[in-house]
Structure formats: C-alpha cells, structure tokens
C-alpha cells in the first residue's frame, strides 16, 4: 500500500512540474520581446529608418525630434518645438534641421542616437529598478519601444527621465 501512495505522489509531482513548464518566449521580459521586434525591423529595413521622439509638458509646450538613420549612421535630425495657446491652437516656436555634417550642433531636441543606442540606454539606465522611482516601459510601435523611463517618487510635474517614441518607420 505504501508503495502505491508514494508512486501516486511522485506521479502527481511530475505531472504538476511538467504542466507548469512554460516556453522560453513566455519567460522573456517585455523589453526582450521589444528588442527582438526591433532587431527584426532593423534587419527588414536594412538598418534604414526614422524615429520620432516626443517631449511634452503639462505647461502647454513640447517638441518633436525626428532622427533619420541610414546604414546605422545618423544622417539627419529635425526638430520642432511648439506651445499651445488659448483654444488649443498649436503655435510653432522653433524649427531646424541638421544634416549629417551638423548632427549635434543644436542643444535642443532629443539626443542624436540610433535605436540600438536607445535600447542600450533603456536597458542600462532608464529601466533600472529604483527604490525611489516608478519605472515605465511600453512597446506600442509594432512591438518596438515607445516609452522607457522613470519618474522619481513624489514628483508632480514634468519629471519623466527617459524617452517617448511616437513612431518608428522604414526610411
């Protein structure tokens, strides 16, 4: 009788252990799935793409920076800042374009970095677990990164440290 109880118990444990086993994809983090989507997009686009970073404020102003990458090199950075007036009218306050020879010549705008560098910065800085901040990550650009960053605890206005990418397209 004891042999049958132990056999039954062992069989139950083996069944339970194998039924709870998940595939590698189920264990992958959201970041890793997003990075895989990025790697697939990068390959299919021959590393030729544009992405737009949006920066905004609760105080009715913001900016968009579009980075163009060809063959893994930044070839253009376009910037446009705006304010929102009265009845929701958007007024452009500044615009400029840097070509490959002038990348980084303006101080405003999102950093001139490739998506590979964005993912690296997200992983090694913006998404680090912090005791004093809430971390955010979203991948709403066809599975690719759309938000990565953190907000320090207790901060009320414009405290986000990271990146908001509104679009990533083939160029």
d(CA 132, CA 130): 5
CB neighbourhood size of 130 (10 A): 12
| pLDDT score recorded for residue 28 | 67
DSSP of the chain, one letter per residue?
A: -HHHHHHHHHHHHHHHHHHS---HHHHS-HHHHHHHHHHHHHHHTTTEEEEEEEEE-TTSEEEEEEEEEETTEEEEEEEEEEEEETTTEEEEEEEEEEETTTTT-SSSSS----HHHHHHHIIIIITS--TTEEEEEE-TBTTB-SEEEEEETT--SS--EEEEEEEEEE-
Q: Name beta bridge partners: 91.
A: 83
Q: Which two tokens stand for residue 73?
A: 């090199």
pLDDT 10s digit of each residue in the chain, 171 long?
Answer: 444 444 433 333 333 333 333 333 444 699 999 999 999 999 999 999 999 999 999 999 999 999 999 999 999 999 999 999 988 899 999 999 999 999 999 999 999 999 999 999 999 999 999 999 999 999 999 999 999 999 999 998 899 999 999 999 999
| pLDDT score recorded for residue 121 | 98
Contact assessment for residue 104 and residue 112, using Cβ atoms and an 8 Å cutoff: yes
| pLDDT score recorded for residue 131 | 94
- What is the pTM for the complete model shown? 0.82
Taken as a whole, the chain contains a residue count of 171
Q: Which two tokens stand for residue 23?
A: 């595939």
């Amino acid at each position: 009788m004891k042999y049958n109880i132990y056999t039954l118990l062992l069989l139950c444990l083996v069944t339970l252990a194998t039924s709870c086993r998940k595939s590698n994809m189920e264990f992958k983090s959201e970041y890793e799935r997003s990075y895989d989507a990025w790697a697939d997009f990068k390959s299919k686009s021959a590393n030729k793409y544009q992405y737009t970073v949006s920066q905004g404020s609760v105080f009715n102003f913001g900016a968009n920076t579009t980075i163009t990458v060809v063959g893994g090199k930044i070839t253009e950075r376009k910037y446009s800042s705006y304010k929102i007036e009265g009845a929701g009218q958007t007024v452009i306050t500044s615009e400029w374009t840097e070509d490959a020879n002038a990348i980084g010549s303006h101080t405003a705008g999102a950093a001139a970095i490739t998506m590979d560098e964005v993912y690296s910065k997200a992983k090694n800085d913006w998404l680090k677990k912090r005791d004093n901040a809430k971390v955010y990550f979203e991948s709403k650009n066809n599975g690719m990164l759309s938000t990565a960053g953190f907000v320090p605890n207790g901060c009320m206005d414009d405290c986000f440290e990271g990146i908001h990418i509104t679009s990533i397209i083939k160029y």
